[in-house]
Structure formats: structure tokens, C-alpha cells
Structure 1
Amino acid sequence: MATKTADADLKTASVLAFERKLDPSDALFSAGRWDERDDPARWAPVPVREKSVRGTISNRLKAKDQDPAKLDAQIDKPNLQTVDVAALPADADTLKVAFTLRVLQGAGSPSACNNAAYQAKLRQTVEGYVKAHGFIELARRYAHNLANGRWLWRNRTGAEEVEVRVQHLVQGAPATTWRFDALKLSLRHFDAPGEMTETLDEVAQLIARGLSGESHVLLGVSAFVRVGAGQEVFPSQELILDRDSTKKSKTLYTVADVAGMHSQKLGNALRTIDTWHPEAATLGPIAVEPYGSVTTLGKACRQPKEKQDFYNLLDGWLLKDRVPAPEQQHFVMATLIRGGVFGDGE
């Protein structure tokens, strides 16, 4: 009876934060030739350089500006732009993208929580999930997204060949290396071809061990993308809040003058495992977000009014003992692995 009273009085902590448990580094770009993938000495960093271009007027015009004379006057004005570009050298046909990934234990354990009773109930709930499901389903999906090269984003599109290598690093040296033909793995689902199932399972088991704290897991991940000699490649683009500080129309991300990709962009790709949202049949997997946000579409796939968002599911599970369906439990745990600030503070 005391437990029921305690549960009835239980409220969400006003301070509740979780650290991310999949922690990628930034990715660095280098260039070389496809047949020299096993010779590290042959790969050179990809620089970012400026290019000045003369663009044309192509934006949608207001009605008052659609007069032929006004339009001709606009077209006659040069649209001069300075942009950053990154491209392979003329003698290199392959892009290499490499980063490291730490898999940390303590999924579901808050880094900050100011309500001891809530934290105890959260620990009990997470332990029940791990006992019932373990981390293997989530780990299998994370492994699939490593192997299929989703994290390459636009660099994967139109590539002739993509080879992904995942290494288990122990004391700085690769203990095991797995190789994948990324283009044979789908971006729409998580079913692997038969010949890759066993290899993917090995990577998934390793990630699951890292999440459960059974072992220290550091992965070295690299991809070789055969796109063609001299072709443009696509690092992350910087968000410039102060436009007056730069005259460039596009600024690309660099690490020590080497083209790179933000760790946040890599993390977004790795957690694109949510096929449990209401619009999965149409959209396929989306990144794990509390409201199922898809910024490219300008919509939230997990609306609070449908009780499918993270907060409704978590509160129902912890405060009202409404255990979600197994697939929604996976979503809640994946959101805790993602990390964030989820308190009920003002």
C-alpha cells in the first residue's frame, strides 16, 4: 500500500539530464585511389578552398517584380558570390571519411536528477527493460547504420562503390576489423543480406556490451567512397549566425584546415533507427528525437496529442505504470541513449 501511495505522489524531476552514450568524434576527409585503400601513406587530406562565382537571379519573384522590364533589369545585375568548396584532386577517385565512436555504459542513468524517488523508479524501470530486452535490438540498428554508410549523407549518393570498415580499437590498435559493402544495405529498413548477417551481429553484440558496461568499447569507423577523380565532396556546412562577419555565401567545416563533418551530424545518422513512429510506412526510419522531429520536412512525427512522444511515453511508464508496447520501449531507451535535458522545470 505504501508503494502505491509513493507512486501516486511521484512527480517528474525538475532537473533531469542524460549524457549521450554514443559519442562520435568529428570525421575527417582524405583523398586517394580506390585500389590503394590498404596503404595509409597514399591518402592526403582534403582541403577546403574558396571559389568566386557569378550566379543568376532564380528566386521566386513577388507579383510587382514580374514585369518584363523589371525582370530584365534584375537579370542584368551580376549575382556575385564567394563560396567554400571541397573536391578530390584530379588524380584521386576515392574519398575516405574516418571517425571514432565511443560506446558508453550507463544508459538510462541520469547525469543530473534532483528527485531521489524519481531516480529510483527510473533505475527500476530501466533495469526491467534491460532484463526483458537487453540492448541488442538497439545495438543491431546502430551497427546497421554504421555499416550502410548513412552517416556519409550526400557523399553516399551516386557513389559507384562504398566500403565501410569498423574496427574494435584496444589500446589504440585494431583488435578486430569488419568490412561491409555499404550499398548492399538498405537505408529504409534494417534487414541485412544473408552473407552480412553474422558480421553485423558481431558488431551489434560489441555495441550492446558497451552500452551494458560489460566492456570498454571504442570503434574506429572509416568509409571509402568511389565517386570519381576530381569530384566535389561534401563536408558539413557551418551555421554562421553573424552574417556581417563573413562575406562568403557558404562556409564549410574544417579541422586544422582539413575538410570535416560535425560529430552532431554523425550522431544524427547513427540514431536514425526510429521505425516505430506513426508515419514509418511512408517515411521509413527517422532520427530518434523526443517529438520525432524531421527538420527537412518541417514536421514532428510523434505528436503529443497522439501520446506517442517521448514525454508521454516516459511519464506513463514511470508515473502511471502504463508499460508501453515493446517497440515504444525501444524508442524511449534510444532517446535516453541520445541524451538531453528532460526535466519538468519551468
Structure 2
Amino acid sequence: MKLCKQLNYVRSLSPGKAIFFYKTPESDFVPLQVEVNKIAGQKSSFSEAYDGSGNYKNTAPQDLAFANPHTIDACYIPPNIKEVYCRFSLRVEANAVEPRVCIDPKVKKWLEKLATQYKNSNGYDELARRYCMNILMGAWLWRNQHTGGTKIEVLTSSGNTYVIEDARRLSWHSNWQSQDDEVLNQLTKEFSQALSDPKVYWFIEVTATLKTSFCQEIHPSQRFTDNVEQGESSKQLSTVTCTDGKEAACFHAEKIGAALQLIDDWWHIEADKRLRTHEYGADKQSLISQRHPSKHNDFYSLVIRAAVYIRYMKRHNLSDDKTSKDIHYVMAVLLKGGLFQKGRS
């Protein structure tokens, strides 16, 4: 199979914003607000005293001791609040069963056959399990996972509720306790069906209850600001406006999605980390592509083997071998969605 000039998929996972709030005797939803602080920072960067060649600048000793005033956003738990909540919703659709746009009928046919055979081989169960693990482990809380206890509750549109009493005891590679593993299995069944059956309309609401310490700092998403005008915060945190006009700290939907997509440990036989699903295996921590085209393990090098993968799945069960891992990865990228066509030239 060859890639065509117009090919795209709609994402199958659509998270909403995750909102931070707390409860009081008077209200079950009090938005956790962001405050603006003016601080006298210190001059500590390399460029304050050294030039690009590493030579120290002609500065007086007093110059590096002066304060560096600036304005930043911050978010802290109010006094006497012992628990804070973070909630988001997720819509799951079976958008990988076929391309949204495909100019080449042959390519469309092969990709549809790939999705059909993947379903028949129970491949969606593996992807669903990985997404559910990230949900139940609280990976989407990012820096806020370090708490006195983290309870995760998942309410599905099917009317079922799944609860993990303390997500801190869960990890990607360890064996989960029987009750937690049962929660994972049941949620995976619903998730897998939603990924593979276009007739299923499935949503979940996920709520984390975080046990916090006195006036603990919370880390919502940070806004990207190109130009900051005088008087504005150089570090701006994300908020959403509630019906009463108050601003609640939040995670961007994209940040939630990035956490759910942390499932790619197929990129190497000795992979020591999970990567966010990406066509070239972008490793932001190491600033390197783990699926560089020179390694022939990037998405575009693998998806053209669709016919090979179909024949393989007809003859073998999906297991832990390299071909099975490549198939899971290709389907994970299609579930992520995006534009996959060749350039116009």
C-alpha cells in the first residue's frame, strides 16, 4: 500500500477541560481560583553573567545581587480545605474504522480491512486497556499526583461506576491488586467496544479526589504567551469561566489528551519509558525522535505494510512480538487522528 495525497482520520478520544474545585458545607462546587503575585526574583540565569561563548561579562558584584521583579500566576488550596477535586469528561468514538477523507479507493479499502481484522483479533482491547490504565492511575493529573491520597471515580454513560480508592499504589508495570484489576477489566470492556463499534455512543466522567496538605500548591495548565505586556504575568495559568463569573483553574483538554496517549512503549524492545503516541515517537524529555525514519519504525514506514499486517493477524494471535507491537502502534496513531497524506510534490 502507498500513501495517497489526501488522507486524514478524526480523533477517537475527545477529552474536555479538567476543572479544579473544592467543596464547603454550603456548596458542592467552589472553583479553585488562580491568584496573581508580584515577587522579587533573583538573577540566576547563565546569561546574567556569561556571554554565549562562556566568558563572564563585565558586571559589578552588586549587579547580580539586585532583585528581578516580575509578576506570576499561582494556585494554592485555601486554608482549612483538606480535599480538592479535579473532573473531566471524555467522549470515545470509533473513528479509526475508516478514514474521514481518502482520495485513493485502494488505500481506503486496505485501511478499512486493517481496522476490521484488528477488531476481529481483539486488538482494541489492548489499546483500551492502556488508555484505562492512564485514567485510573491518574496520569492526567501530571504534577498533582503527589498527594496524601488520590481517589479516582469513573462514571460511564452505560450507568456504571468504577472506583480506585488510591491511585498512588498503581503503576504501569506492577501487578494491580485484585479489586483494582477487576475495575480495570470492566472499564476496558466498555472502552474497547466504544473504540470499535460506530453504533456505540459512549462518554465517561472522571473525578479525582486529592487529599491535600495545608495551603498546598496546585499545578494547572500553563498558558503559552508569546508577548507579555507590562504588568501582566510572565507565567499565566489556565482558567475557565463558571456560570457565576468566577474563574476556575483547569487543565487544557490537550493536556488531558496527552496523558491518555502515553501508551507507546513499543518503540524499542528495551523501551524504558512510555511515549505519547506520535508519528515519529517524539521524546520531549530527551528532545529526540525515538521513531526516526532512519530506524524504519515511524508511522509512515509502518502503515504502508497494512496488507502484511492483515495477513499476519489472520494467521497469528496478537502477542508480544515485534509485528504485533507495530500493529498496535499503527492503530494507536489512527485513533489519535490527524493528516497522514503525502506532500503535494
TM range (shorter): 0.7 to 0.9
Conserved? CA contact 2:114–2:309, under 8 Å: no
1:210–1:244 distance in 2 versus 1, CA, 3 Å: same
Corresponding residue number in structure 2 for 1:139: 128
Structure-2 change in CA distance of 1:129 and 1:29 (3 Å): same
- Tell me what 2:156 maps to: 168
Equivalent of 1:296 in 285, 292, 295: 285
Deviations 1:287-343 (CA, angstroms, capped at 9, x unpaired): 111111122321111121111111101013358989671111111101111111111
Mapping for residues 226-241 of structure 1, pairs under 5 Å: 226-241=211-226
Structure 1 residue ranges without an equivalent (≥5): 1-9, 34-38
Residue 190 of structure 1: CA displacement?
Answer: 6.8
Mean Cα deviation higher: 323-332 or 297-306: 323-332
Structure 1 residue 129: Cα displacement: 1.6
Which residue in the other structure is 2:244 paired with? none
Aligned to 2:36: 50
State whether structure 2 residue 76 is matched by structure 1 residue 91. Answer: no
> Which is worse superposed, 86-95 or 335-344?
86-95
1:201 aligns with 2:173: no
Q: Which amino acid aligns with 1:54?
A: A
Shift of 1:85: 0.8
Per-residue CA shift, 1:255-283, capped at 9, x if unaligned? 0011110111101111111111117532x
Partner residue in 2 for 1:265: 255
User: Which stretch shifts more, 47-56 or 87-96?
Assistant: 87-96
Question: For 2:209, which of 220, 224, 239 is the aligned residue?
Answer: 224
Identity value in percent: 28
Question: What secondary structure sits across from 1:325 in the alignment?
Answer: helix
Q: What TM-score, normalized to structure 1? A: 0.87
Deviation at 1:165, TM superposition (A): 0.4
Q: Aligned match of 1:79 in 50, 58, 68?
A: 68
5+ long unaligned stretches in structure 2? 242-246, 313-321
Aligned partners of 1:246 and 1:295: how far apart in 2? 31
Kept after mapping to 1: 8 A contact 2:14/2:92: yes
Pair 1:12 & 2:10 matched: no
Over 3 Å counting, the alpha-carbon distance change for 1:300 and 1:247 in structure 2 is same
Length-normalised TM-score, structure 2: 0.87
Report the aligned-residue RMSD. Answer: 2.3
Equivalenced residues, count: 323
Answer yes or no: is 1:25 the counterpart of 2:16.
yes
The equivalent position to 1:192 in structure 2, one of 152, 172, 176, is 176
297 and 245 in structure 1: CA distance in 2 versus 1, 3 angstrom threshold: farther
Which whole-Å CA distance do the structure 2 matches of 1:239 and 1:86 have between them?
Answer: 17
For residues 189-224 of structure 1, what are the alpha-carbon distances to aligned partners after superposition, in whole Å with 9 as ceiling and x for unaligned?
Answer: 374222311111000001011111252211000101
- Letter of the 2:18 counterpart: A
- CA deviations on 1:78-130 (whole Å, 9 max, x unpaired) are 20010011111001122211000011123242122111221111111221222
**Contact preservation (8 Å) 2:97, 2:196:** no
> Measured at CA, do residues 231 and 72 of structure 1 come closer, stay the same or move farther in structure 2, by a change above 3 Å?
same
Paired residues of 2:102 and 2:108 also in contact (CA < 8 A): yes
More helix by share: 1
* Partners of 2:11 and 2:95 within 8 A in 1: no
Per the alignment, in what secondary structure is the counterpart of residue 220 of structure 1? strand
In 2, the alpha carbon distance for the partners of 1:154 and 1:279 equals: 28
Q: Please list the CA deviations of residues 141-181 of structure 1 after superposition, one character each: whole Å capped at 9, or x if unmatched.
A: 11111100000000113x110000000135xxxx2111112
Conserved 8 A contact 1:104-1:211: yes
Partner SS, residue 160 of structure 2: strand
Taking a change above 3 Å as real, the CA distance of residues 79 and 248 of structure 1, as seen in their structure-2 partners, is same
Name the CA distance, whole Å, in 2 between partners of 1:92 and 1:46.
Answer: 11
* Structure 1 residues 303 and 182, CA gap change in structure 2 (3 angstroms): same
Structure 2 residue identity aligned to 1:262:
H
Match of 1:127 in 2: 116
- Between the aligned partners of 2:155 and 2:212, the Cα distance in structure 1 is 24
2:160 partner amino acid: T
SS in 2 for 1:65: coil
